[in-house]
Structure formats: structure tokens, C-alpha cells
Amino acid sequence: MDAGRGQWSSKIGFIFAAAGSAIGLGNIWRFPYVVGENGGAAFVLMYIAFVVIIGLPYMFAELALGRASKKNPVGAIEAIKPKSLWKWVGTLGVLTGVGILSFYGVIAGWTFGYIFKTAAGNIGEFSQFVSDPLIVLVLFAFFMVLTTLIVYGGVEGGIERWSKILMPILLILLVGLIIYANTLEGASRGLSFYLQPDFSKITGKTMLAALGQAFFSLSLGMGLMITYGSYVSKDDDIVNSAFYIGLFDTLIAFMAGLIIFPALFAMHQSPSAGPSLVFVVFPKLFTQMPGGLLVGTFFFILLTVAALTSTISLLEVPVAYLVDEKKYKRKKIVWIVSAFTFIVGIPSALSQGASSFFSDFGWLPERLTSVDFLSHMSFIFGDFSLAFGALLLSIFIGWIWGAPQAANELQRGSAFFTKTKAIWIFMIRYFIPAVIFLILLNLFGIFD
Ligand code: TRP
């Protein structure tokens, strides 16, 4: 078989790499602002419910397909249903990877830049920082190079080693920041916004926003877990691994909220500031806390690493596809894909004030997304494409490959799964596609 394809060195190595993909800006940057925009605690509860009843069972399906086929999303589908239109579902995943990476890399670049701003003790205004075209493009380019260098090293050498060392450090730093933020005067109002649900805040739109965030945060819907599953050894219990991935991912997002909301209310800021929320609140926190600039520098270093383990995974999907299916050399194609992604990302990088055309883009209606180009990309690839991809993939896995086949793959080494198999088959065939279908309807504003 593909002896040269690479494999995770151990089960724990796989868990760290997949958790590294899941944990990223989605947890610390996107989750808090989406919670803030959607009214707080009731949204958080919905989010957790969706992770458990949709995200996890769907993750099992992607992992099963990956490990059974030992292929990238396109190859995996081709192996089961050769020469059919289904392979376009895999292709959609590959393109979605490039699309997400193109704007995610921009935000990761800001994060990287904030390491130096914080270290220099000169944090300044966020809006001014993001409207400087040279700075944002250089930071974005730098981040793409960093990502490329790691993916260049292949599966075990690059991705796994980095994730293992650095993710635990992030966890410890977050605990420290939670403690500090909650000692601030007025912090408790933030905690109740975050933890005391007001169910009247749940609407069709909030429910669906929670589901979308669950997909984005768990790295689902574009075949990333198919790709990462393809490097998992046949002896590992993937159901159990998926539990840990979901648990770590949700924990980190939840912890980010435990910092942001107390700090935010203590500083009398609005929770619904949108994408700039984290880049405004965290720096303020670091400026006022004792030793804050040092802690802050460290924080942005770790956030950069968390973003990096996610950008690596986003680049790995198109690369694995081109290496497996088109027989390109990994070491050459990584540079080509990342250079292409950089070009696609230039408008996003310039859309926060640097270019008025891209900042005021407004191609999609404002009901769906904000006017800037980056928000358009985030909506098209981060929301629509993931949901659409997950809908098609769950149908493919449930009906075309067949839920019983997928279940057999999941059963290897999992006593727990064997007991709950019938429920899972029902979920992947009916429940999950039905719920995702509803999200898609809502993206078109049907229930608004
Ligand atoms: N989950 C990552 C985050 O929360 C982003 C991400 C990485 C992603 N790879 C993905 C999202 C694949 C969807 C699909 O930051």
C-alpha cells in the first residue's frame, strides 16, 4: 500500500494533531465574538449541545472514511464510488481549505504582529494597525511561509511534534488569565452574561449560528478529518480519540469566554463588537495587569502557535490531494499551493481599511455578512461551504458508502461504539443531514 504516505506515530500524536487543527483562532477569536453577538449564555448552551449531538457523531464519520480509504477527501470518495459526481464533494473540500486559509492566514498574521506590539509595550489602536497595507501583507506572507515550512516536513516530523509541545502550554496560560480576569472589579456581570442563560435570546438565527460555529471550530465539513483520519493506525480507537478532540476544543473555547467576558464587562465594553473584539479586549487587559506586557507577549505567541497548527491542517488537505491524486512532489507542491492561497488572500488582507474597494465590498446582502471582503470569504467558505460540504458528506457516508460499513470501521477497538452503533447509524443517515439542511436554509435567510 502507500508505505510512503506517512502515519501518526501514536494515538496520542494523532489526538494532539487533530486537536491542534481544531483549536485555533476559531476558539479564541471567533467563539467569543459570536457568543457576544448572539446574546451570551443561552447561545453557549446551544453551542455545546450541537458539538455533542451533531459535531461529534459527524466527526466519527469523516474519520472512519479517512482511515478506511487511507486517502485525501477526493481519493476516498473515488475509492468508494469511482467516476461519479460525488468526487466533486471532495473537490469542494479541497477548495474550501484554500478559501478558509486565505482569510484565516490574514488573521493569524495580525496575531503574529501583536506579539511584537505587545513586547514593545506599544499596543496602539487595532483599527489603525489593520489598515496599514504593508504591515498586514508582510505579516500574512510571513505566516504562510511558516505554515508551508512545517507542512513541507510531512506528517510526523512537522505537524505532530509542534502540536504536542505547545498546546499544553496554551492551556496553562489560559487558566492563569481566567483567574486574573475574574478578580477585576465588575467581572461578575460578565460571568453572568456568559453563564446565566436567558432563553428568550434563542431564535432560529442563533441556533443556526451555534451550529455553524461548532463545525468551524471542530474543523469539520471539508474533509480535514478524512485526511487526518487517513494517517491513523488501524489499531487505534478513533471514537475515543474524537471524544478527546471535541473535549479539548470545547474546553479551550469555553475558557476563552471565561477570560473575555469578565474582562469586557469590567472594562465597560460592548460584547457585540464583532471580529475586532478579541484584538481590542486582550490588549487592554494586558496593558492594565501587573506584568501584563510579558504575559501578553506570551499569550500572542501561543495564540500564533494555535493558529499555526490550524493553518497547517488547512494547507495539508489540498496538498494531500495533489500528492495522492495528481502525483506531485510534496516538497514542490506545498510552495505552489501556499503561494496561490496568498494571492487569493490579498483582498482579505486589504479589506480592513487598507483598500476602500475591498473594505466596502458589499457583494452579498448585509443580512448575511458584513460589507468587507474578509467577512465575505468567512461567510462563503467558513459557513456556507462547510455546512454544504458536511451535508453532502454525511449523505455520502450514510447512504453511498453505507452507514453499516462506516460503523464497522468505527467499531475496531471501540467497545463503547459497539453498544451505541444503531443510534449512530440513525444520526448519520437522518438526523445530521436534516439539521444541516436547516442551517443552509437559514443561510439564505428563510427563517429570518
Ligand atoms: N478549527 C480551526 C479553528 O477553530 C479552523 C480550521 C482548521 C478549520 N482546519 C479546518 C475549519 C478545517 C474547518 C475545516 O480555528
In order along its 448 residues, the chain shows pLDDT tens digits of: 344 567 777 777 788 888 889 999 999 999 998 899 889 999 999 999 999 999 999 999 999 999 999 999 999 999 999 999 999 999 999 999 999 999 999 999 999 999 999 999 888 899 999 999 999 999 999 999 999 998 887 655 655 676 677 778 888 999 999 999 999 999 999 999 999 999 988 876 677 778 889 999 999 999 999 999 998 988 889 999 999 999 999 999 999 999 999 999 999 988 987 778 889 999 999 998 889 999 899 899 889 989 998 999 999 999 989 998 999 998 999 999 999 999 999 999 999 999 999 999 999 887 777 889 998 998 889 888 998 999 999 999 999 999 999 999 999 878 888 888 999 999 999 999 999 998 778 766 666 5
| Structure confidence at residue 447 (pLDDT) | 62
d(CA 311, CA 428): 28
**DSSP conformational letter for 110:** H
- Residue with the nearest Cα to atom 7 of ligand 1? 310
The residue type found at 385 is: S
| Structure confidence at residue 348 (pLDDT) | 96
Q: Please give the radius of gyration of the chain, using alpha carbons only, rounded to the nearest integer.
A: 21
Residue among 447, 427, 24 at smallest CA distance from 216 = 24
Which residue from 72, 102, 217, 219 has its CB within 8 A of the most atoms of ligand 1, so it is best to mutate?
219
From the CA of 309, how far away is ligand 1's center (Å)? Answer: 9
> What cell was used for 159?
505537524
Torsional class of 289: left (φ above 0), alpha (ψ -120 to 50), beta (otherwise) = beta
| Structure confidence at residue 158 (pLDDT) | 56
d(CA 335, CA 145): 8
**DSSP conformational letter for 24:** S
Dihedral over alpha carbons 113, 164, 311, 211 (to 10 degrees): -110
- Residue with the nearest Cα to atom 12 of ligand 1? 219
H-assigned helices in 273-402: 277-288, 292-326, 330-349, 356-359, 373-377, 386-395
H-assigned helices in 73-125: 73-80, 87-119
| Structure confidence at residue 277 (pLDDT) | 87
> What cell was used for 271?
460584547
d(CA 215, CA 184): 33
Closest atom of ligand 1 to CA, residue 310: 7
Residue among 85, 139, 158 at smallest CA distance from 319 = 158
Closest atom of ligand 1 to CA, residue 31: 4
**DSSP conformational letter for 431:** I
Q: Which SS3 state, helix, strand or coil, does residue 362 take?
A: coil
Residue 314, ligand 1, Cβ within 6 A:
yes
| Structure confidence at residue 443 (pLDDT) | 63
